[in-house]
Amino acid sequence: MDAEMINPFIKATMNVLETMAFVKSTKAGKPFLKKDNVARGDVTGVIGVTGEANGTIYVTFEEGSILKIVSNMFGEEMKELDSEVADAVGELTNMISGQARRELESIGKVFEAAIPSVITGKNHCIAHITKGPQIAIPFSIEEGNFLIEVCLEKQS
């Protein structure tokens, strides 16, 4: 998977966090090939995509990072990973995926997305549904880290 496919996810993540959660200090790390199914966080938004390629997009947050992000979104301090935080993770996953898909569509790569779901718990596993490479993009804010995983398999 080339930068043309990954950069829209980096841009979308930065934009969604800045506009929806007023987080301007998001730092993107270097994308890497992830080889296991262990989540690098405590809560994960999952969305399936079809079209140019089939696959999944995961957004996995450490507790500190998502509590800060959702607190900013809601305008009140969130102290625990509850159903409201899980709902916000699903919505963030949907917004990030949507913005990235719009940018990909502008270069002729069209994707449709399913409804996001959310998995919570320490050390949970997230298995991608396709056999494409798992490209992980690490992000950090002062309160913690999160990771976007994109796993797409070209249609044959």
Residue among 1, 3, 28, 2 at smallest CA distance from 13: 28
Q: State the Cα–Cα distance between residues 149 and 57, nearest whole angstrom.
A: 6
**Total domain count, the chain:** 1
The answer to pTM > 0.75 is yes
Query: Does the pLDDT of residue 156 top 70, yes or no?
Result: no
Q: Show the CA angle centred on residue 153, arms to residues 103 and 45, nearest 5°.
A: 65
CATH number at residue 122: 3.40.1550.10
Q: State the Cα–Cα distance between residues 61 and 69, nearest whole angstrom.
A: 10
Tell me the residue range of the domain where 49 lies: 3-154
Give the three-class secondary structure for 60. strand
Q: Write out pLDDT tens, residues 96-143.
A: 999 999 999 999 999 999 999 999 988 898 887 788 899 999 999 999
Q: What is the number of residues in the chain?
A: 156
Of the pLDDT bands very low, low, confident and very high (cuts 50, 70, 90), residue 4 is confident
